[in-house]
Structure formats: structure tokens, C-alpha cells
Amino acid sequence: MHDQDFNRLALSGRTALVTGGASGIGRATALLMAKRGADIVVLDADTDGLRGLEAAFSDTGNTVIARAGDVTREADIARAFDAAADRGMVIDILVNNAGTGARMPATELDTDTWSRVVDVNLTAAFVLSREFAKRLDRPGAVIPGAIINVASIMGVVGNQLYPNVSYHASKGGLVNLTRALAAEWASKSIRVNAVLPTFAETGLTTALLSSNSLREDILAKTPLGCLAEADDIAEAIAFLASDAARMITGTALPVDGGWTAV
């Protein structure tokens, strides 16, 4: 492979907004994108995780802006975009990574909990995407953009391991939101894709995966016989954001060790 082929994976001169970027898949994605040349804005409600984030990325040589905020609050979203604009940066990559779930039987799921999961996983992704597209759609300027929605394999299959119906429904909606926006915004030179991670080893899943029986069940359902790591998901996201994926839009890419193939 020639050097110019590798350069298509580079993100130099780009600015990415990563929600939920203080930990787990979001942090791995933000760090990888920074290493590939992008400036980064992180929006996360985890104030503890945000502490020291800018210093932790200092060796990349790129600007990293950490902003505390709730993705379900439109004012917090606007402030994240404005923080970049104040530094002369135009966000042209959006990673909708923030997410939550409610593991409980459907018969016990109250509507407030349902709404919170849908608001974080689906509605916030729409609002962020809408604001992203508005700010790129300026008279006389067409800036290619890329949106990557972090959905889940549970957005396209059911789950016999434990009940989590609001998560499934919201992630399924996110998959089809991806397709709808990809079709609508192709004329704006905005590509919209999703990744569908399987269970990944992160600090957020430590408690869940501490059950040996659950871990064994997951491995049994995964043809490659292993769990994902945050970096595996980050690599897929960074690829979809890059020029190497310039002809890819409206797709939902499983990063699941073959789970959805069988």
C-alpha cells in the first residue's frame, strides 16, 4: 500500500465532536481521531471523566476541548458547537456515541425510564445531527461532513441474554435515522453511517461482564469467540469519518465478531 492510501485515513484539518467521549468507546474514538490529526470537542455529562482530558490528549498536538453537558439539553449541545466556533474551528465530524439503557423486563419498564433512554440514544442524536448539518450548510460553502452514529447489534436483533427493550428500540431507531439522514443529506455532502458494536470491554461494562455465565453466553454467540475492545469500535468509526470511506453512506457496520451473521 502506498503512502497516499494511508493518507486517506488521516483526519488532519478536521474537527470532530464526540459525545460521551470521557470514557469507553467515546474516549478511545476521540484519542484515535486526535492521533490521526483531528481537533476534538468532547461533550459528556461525566464531569469526573472530563477532568484532565485535555491534558491527557496533549501529546497528540491537537486541540481538545472538553465540555460538560447533557446531550438531551439543546442549550448544552449549542454550547459545544459554539466552543469550537470560538476557537475558529468548524465541526465537520460528529460521533453520536452517548448512550444509556434500562435492563429490566418490559412489564416493569415505566414510561419515564423509557423516555429517558429514547431521549439519550435517539432524540439527542437527531438534534445533534440537525445542528451539525445546519452549521455546515452555509451560503457559498459546501464543507464535506461525516456523521457516525454508535448504535448496537441490539438495534438489529433481539436479545435473549437479558431484557433491555428501550435500548433495543432506540438503537433500532438510530439505525434507520442513519439511513434517512444519509438519503436526505447526500446533496449536502454529508455522509451518515452507523456502527453496530457488540459487547465491548470498557469500564462501563465491567460490572455487567463480571458474570462468568453471561460472558460465556456472549462468547458462545460470537463466531470469532472473543469480546470487542473499545479500540476495535474506534477504528471503525475513524474509518467511516475519513476520506477512505468517501463512497460509504447510509450503512450500518457491525463490529461484532460475526454475531449478526448467524
- Give the model's confidence band at 1: pLDDT under 50 very low, under 70 low, under 90 confident, else very high: very low
Question: What's the average model confidence in pLDDT over 86-106?
Answer: 96
Catalytic positions, written as ranges = 167
Sheet strands (E) in the chain: 15-19, 39-44, 64-68, 93-96, 137-138, 141-142, 145-150, 190-197, 200-201, 228-229, 252-255
The owner of cell 434517512 is 180
How many other CB atoms sit within 10 Å of the CB of residue 140?
Answer: 4
Instruction: Spell out the domains of the chain, with CATH numbers in brackets.
Output: 3-249 (3.40.50.720)
H or E element in which residue 152 lies: none
**pTM, full prediction:** 0.95
Digit-coded pLDDT (tens) for 17-60? 999 999 999 999 999 999 999 999 999 999 999 998 888 888 88
Per-residue pLDDT, 137: 80
Backbone angles phi, psi at 103, to 5 degrees: -75, 100
